[in-house]
Amino acid sequence: MSTRRFFAVALILSLLVAGVASYYASAHPDGLEYVAEQTGFLDSAKDSPTSDSPLADYQTSGIDDARLSGGVAGVIGVVVMLVLSTGLFWVIRRREPRDASDHADA
């Protein structure tokens, strides 16, 4: 399998998992929220400075269906991470010398 085909298949699978599997994600609180609720200090938590962001709480603002909103947020997250990681790898990649004289022993 070629490298491009591998990455294309990996991207499609990532988008499917982010968009479809998150549709079935549990609406119950995660472990930390559950313990905070059980021990009585959940109400003392402060909102994050990013709580008003378009993708806060794994949801997409403007989409009323909670499951669809979560799926869209997952797909957006995959695309953002793909762009950021590709950009980072492009910046730090190893570059080949321009000519053989760069390898000459001094």
What's the average model confidence in pLDDT over 4-22? 90
Phi-psi label, residue 58: left if phi above 0, alpha if psi -120 to 50, beta otherwise: left
What's the average model confidence in pLDDT over 79-93? 92
Query: Radius of gyration (Cα) for the chain, nearest Å?
Result: 21
pLDDT category at 85 given cuts 50, 70, 90 is: very high
pLDDT of 31 > 90? The answer is no
pTM, rounded to two decimals: 0.68
Which secondary structure element, helix H or strand E, spans residue 11, and what is its range? Answer: helix 3-20
What's the average model confidence in pLDDT over 67-75? 89
The better pLDDT of the pair 94, 65 is held by: 65
The amino acid at residue 28 is: H
